Chain A
Amino acid sequence: MSANGPVFHLSEAELGAMTSDLDAMHHDLTLPALKNSLAEWTEDIRAQGDTGHDEEAARRLISDRRRFLIRAAGAAGGLASVGLLAACSSSSSSSSSSAAASSAASASSTSSSGGMADGSGQKLSGDLQVVAMAASLENSGIATYMAGIKAATAGKLGTVPPAVVTFATTAMAQHTDHMKAWNAVLTAAGKMAVTGVDPVVQPTINTAFAKVKNVAGLAELALMVENIAGETYQNGLSVIKSAAGIKTAASIEPVEFQHAAILSFVLGKYPVPSAFTGVSLARPPSDYAV
């Protein structure tokens, strides 16, 4: 700590130890419970026979996506417009990887060459649609943080405070845990893991990321991604049929909103802006119907 730095009664090591204690509690209690929920959910999905194609969901695809895009444009401001137009004209899955190949997604190893290789186009329905959508959103979140860390390391964002670095690496690690949890449900149901980024959100992220010049800009982008994720899972809680699936989604939704609160705080925005979180930015699971 520099001579000009603040005088902390609690050392960084002590603060780190507190975090480690909480982390240990998480591994002792939370992860075994999650494992049980994932196993139960897999059984429920098999029992429901939710592995095929849902025609009704496919019909909802275009209108659901258009509604989301209009709302996301509001959330991302003018930055989103170019990406949104591109997304509107794209097909549901095959264009996702190419759109994601630039900027934010290019830093992620999760993006692949498209088609079935990234887990899209599996003709999913029911709970598995929600799961696939969630996994792709997590991949977009991971890609965003990874690109941000890469840009910061390259000195493209100016001075980056150590606390911001810790935030980004921890949030990215948690999104990786979420992605693994969602994909565990897919693979246990005999489906391919979704390794591609979200086909509709990613172009918006890429367009916004290209304009990020500093830590505040990156935090604004991350805030949009976290709110979309939180609202998508909140919406998913009304769609998922399995009680074990609801437990899993319910354990992830609040964490995304916690990320959003800290990002708002750092940006100087009131961190808990509403008594109720909404679903206007929620991604429609029907994008994974085809």
Chain B
Amino acid sequence: MEIDETALGGLIEESRDTHADALRAAREPLADMVDLGRQARAGSGPDAEESRVFADKNRRWLASTAARAGGLLAATGVVAAIADFIGSPAFAASGTDVQVLQTASSIEVLAVATYKTALTLPYIGGTAANPVIKAFAKTTMSQHADHLAAFQAATKSLGGVKQTKPDPAFVPVVNKAVASITKASDSAGALLVVGLALELENIAAETYVNNMSLLSDANAKKVTASIMGVEAQHVAILNAVQALLKAGAGADITLPPPAAKLPAAAGSVGFPNAFYPTSSAAPATQGAM
């Protein structure tokens, strides 16, 4: 392997410093949210009109999503049930931003658990693993844990209960995929792991892009906006890694990659859309409590 592990360690350390700076920046909106949450708790609870508007928005969005849904979302068959729930009085009475943030938390819980499981595989987290893939899996798991903490803090700040459980609609799908992965050969398993991670990252990114226009609290928007680009970056790298693995060029997954050896099409495989889609976004209330 061409990678210099010491240099990679240094890069990750450098990235942690940058991350610490960004974490400090994320604390500012969260601190503001604490104040807002205190104000909300001192008042009379969620605003009924705000909840009604949110429910209307979600109903319209779900109708269009149900019409075009594919992949995981269609397989889980939860769209109709959620549409019914959104129309119910129980939904209208509950906090809106809180539900969106709880759903985001549930996706992060699932992402952390999935990477944790993947890292137990020898070809992802063991000595047989490609060092770049191993470092990426470890760092990405840690970043999702940070996202989870941020969404949970935001939920609590608005007077909600923090979500600690994984998104119920996607758990069976992940479990099924993990069962297949454990039976696969190392090379096939690596490709399946990357495929599963890619699908989860994309669901996270699309969900947060979609949530931006559903959230009403300014600081909840700031927190979500600071996370969605990171999930999209995970998607870009996983797209590139998947293409190299499919090409049988796993040895070229190095930091930096041997650019001169790569096929021309590899240059754009990471970012296929000029505008980030939302067709695979999880319904905003799917992981709400």
Interface residues of A (CB under 8 A from B): 1, 5-10, 12, 15-16, 18-19, 22-23, 25-26, 29-31, 33-34, 159, 161-168, 170-171, 173-174, 177-178, 181, 215, 230, 234, 237-238, 243-244, 246-247, 249-262, 265-280
Contacts and interface: CB of A to CB of B under 8 A. Distances in A.
Provide the main secondary structure of the chain A interface. helix
A166 B265 contact: yes
B264 A165 contact: yes
Interface in B235-279: 235-237, 240, 243, 246-249, 252, 255-257, 259-279
Contacts of A8: 247-249, 263
A278 B264 CA distance: 32
Contacts of A26: 272-275, 277
Contacts of B22: 274-278
Given A7-B248, A163-B265, A274-B143, 12 more contacts: A10-B248, A30-B276, A34-B275, A163-B267, A166-B266, A243-B213, A254-B233, A258-B235, A270-B14, A273-B14, A275-B146, A277-B230
B142 interface: yes
Nearest to B215: A246
Interface stretch (B97-105, B161-169, B219-227): B219-227
* Contact-size category for B: 35 or more
B229 interface: yes
The 8 A-B residue pairs with the shortest CB-CB distance, nearest first, are A166-B267, A254-B232, A268-B256, A22-B272, A257-B229, A162-B264, A167-B267, A170-B268
A188 to B, nearest CB: 17
B262 A161 contact: yes
Interface of B: 11-12, 14-15, 18-19, 21-23, 25-26, 57, 68, 139-140, 142-143, 146-147, 150, 205, 209-210, 212-213, 218, 221-222, 225-237, 240, 243, 246-249, 252, 255-257, 259-279
Contacts of B269: 15, 18-19
A23 B273 CA distance: 7
Contacts of A262: 236-237, 240, 270-271
Contact of A5 (B57, B143, B261): B261
Contact of B255 (A1, A159, A265): A265
B88 to A, nearest CB: 23
Given A10-B247, A257-B232, A237 B221 contact: yes
Contact of B274 (A18, A173, A266, A277): A173
A162 B263 contact: yes
A127 B164 CA distance: 37
A159 to B, nearest CB: 7
5 contacts: A167-B268, A246-B221, A265-B240, A274-B230, A276-B25
A237 B271 CA distance: 21
A275 to B, nearest CB: 4
Nearest to B251: A6
Contacts of A165: 264, 267
A273 B274 contact: no
B271 A162 contact: no
Given A12-B265, A163-B267, A270-B12, A250 B213 contact: yes
Contact of B19 (A162, A167, A275, A280): A275
Contact of B267 (A10, A22, A164, A273): A164
Nearest to B135: A270
Contacts of B232: 254-255, 257-258
B246 A9 contact: yes
Given A9-B246, A26-B274, A247-B213, A271 B237 contact: yes
A29 B54 CA distance: 23
B233 A253 contact: no
A29 B25 contact: no
B143 A22 contact: no
A279 B233 CA distance: 16
Given A270-B255, A272-B143, A30 B233 contact: no
